[in-house]
Amino acid sequence: MPAKRLAPRLAVPDETQLTSAQRTLMDAIRSGPRGKSITPRGPFAAWMHAPEFGHLAQALGGHCRYQTGVPPRLSEFAILCTARLWRAQYEWFAHEPPALAAGVKPKTIQDLRAGRIPKSAPKDERAVYDFIAELYKKRRVSDRTYKRVQDILGKAATVELVGILGYYAMISMTLNVFQMLPPPDAKLAFVEP
């Protein structure tokens, strides 16, 4: 059975009709690491309706995605773990290709999408997966789980990993509440409830 398509709760703004604050936000998004071709889709479309908040959120997001000490493969893996936990369609759509490009194995991605523990994933990805799963389930991590990740990432990148998880949980909430989906021709990763 194909996944049900929901209608967005907020319109994607027409770029020719942006307010001054919305234009400032769009210019900030395009002048950062995401590049000039980015369009107001996904969380950016929602943030256009609250541009002052969007300006702060996109700046944090640019840092979380492109400027931390967490290697891109582990960062994209963590983002996919978060997208799966929240069943955030657009987040998965936007981050599956970069995860593959960064070196996350297709089998690992298939397992995550299906809600399975990625048992064939490399040791560092498994440590990050266990960290994320424990944090979401218990709202804490054990000393053992913490040490495994810190031994891989170091102190600063472990702090940044938690920041990435928090940021992408916010993204997931934004996408889910406002029903921001991938383009109509893209297959949804998860069945909508």
* Phi, psi for 75 (deg, rounded to 5): -65, -50
* Averaged pLDDT, 167-175: 97
Q: CA 21 to CA 11: how far, in whole Å? A: 17
Residue 31: its pLDDT value, please? 87
Q: What is the CA radius of gyration of the chain?
A: 17
Report domain extents, the chain: 21-66, 72-172
Q: Take residue 43 and report the two structure tokens written for it.
A: 């969380």
* Phi, psi for 101 (deg, rounded to 5): -65, -30
Tell me the HSE value of 183 on the side-chain side, using a 13 A CA sphere. Answer: 5
- Cβ-contact 54, 21 below 8 angstroms: no
Q: CATH: 1.20.1290.10, 1.10.760.10, 3.30.499.10, 2.30.31.70. Which one for 72-172?
A: 1.20.1290.10
The share of the chain scoring above pLDDT 90, in percent, equals 83
Token pair 């054990």: residue: 142
Nearest CA-CA partner of 130 in 52, 78, 166, 174: 78
Q: Take residue 14 and report the two structure tokens written for it.
A: 């027409």
- Cβ-contact 43, 15 below 8 angstroms: no
Residue 142: its pLDDT value, please? 98
Q: pTM for the whole thing?
A: 0.93
Residue 1: its pLDDT value, please? 44
- Average pLDDT of every residue of the chain: 94
Residue 118: its pLDDT value, please? 97
- Cβ-contact 89, 182 below 8 angstroms: yes
- Cβ-contact 84, 115 below 8 angstroms: yes
